[in-house]
Amino acid sequence: MMDKRILIVAEMLEKRLHDPDWVAVDCRFDLGDHHAGQRAFERAHIPGSVYLDLDRDLAGPIGTDCGRHPLPDVGQLEARLGELGIGNDSTVVVYDDSHGAIAARAWWIFRWLGHERVRLLDGGLAHWLSLGLPIESGTTHRVPRAFDAAPRSELVVSTAEIAATPSAAHELNLLDARDHTRFLGEHEPIDPVAGHIPGSRNLPFTTFVNSDGTWRSLDERRQLLLDALGGDPDASWCVMCGSGVSACLLALSGVEAGLREPRVYVGSWSEWIRDDTRPIATGEA
């Protein structure tokens, strides 16, 4: 099994902080306070980091028929990345302050744009700080670079495809990364409707990380995915969650583990429930 080396340890990133071809990207975001991530970045961040906001940069405007974090406008994001000093030749290291779900969304957005030189900081800023590594405050100014995207539509699965037949979610091997109680419909703290797409399977993203925010070993994460896919390493599969964010953590693990690259249902549950004629399941059935 080939290790794709997506996760990067803090000590390795520290050695690259002064390399102009490496860019650390802070992706911290709080769903309860959408400006908290920016404020936290300005207070303290890994030296040389730039900031990408989940709502403003890693997602587009919310429409009447989409989920909470639709795909961003390619042209606007190209310009934004270039302004931040991220070019097509840059090695990007994304991080957040918890389990890595927001950073994984950033990783996947770069990959969707056609940029594969992206790593994710294992353990995020919390682990960085626990090691006593340096931080700085304020804003970062980098020399602008040209970033030209080549969007990969093949990495996305649509609502129409999942809704095409009653068995589509099962046939697509659709894995739902939300908490198990949300999947069952027992608890829904964010969306107005509880439950899951019939035929989908639950694989909570939290099972992929340790209590300290670092990720479990690649062998462990690969086995979690294989168990959910019936043991077939060549199976095609798709991932979803509430709004296409934490699902990217499963996608990253699959790519890193050498499985077939999954497609991401960007709209996810928050888009599925926009139409009340679409079927909803609750419980284990």
Cβ–Cβ < 8 Å for 133, 121? no
The answer to whether 113 and 57 have CB atoms below 8 angstroms apart is no
Q: Which residue has the tokens 């703290």?
A: 189
Active site residue 241: yes
CA dist 220 and 253 (Å) reads 10
Q: Starting at the earlier edge strand, list the strands of the sheet with 263-264.
A: 201-202, 174-176, 238-240, 263-264
CA separation for the pair 208, 194 (Å, rounded): 23
| Tokens standing for residue 26 | 């802070």
Residues 6+ apart with CB under 8 A from 163: 278
**Number of separate helices (H) and strands (E) present in the chain:** 11, 9
**Residue among 27, 66, 238, 241 flagged as catalytic:** 241
Q: What is the dihedral of CA 234, 238, 239, 244, to 10 degrees?
A: 140
Which residue(s) pair with 53 in the sheet? Answer: none
Distance of CA 211 to CAs 53, 77, 109, 113, 126, Å? 25, 33, 26, 32, 12
Contacts of 187 (CB under 8 A, 6+ apart): 179, 181, 194
Kindly list the catalytic residues: 241
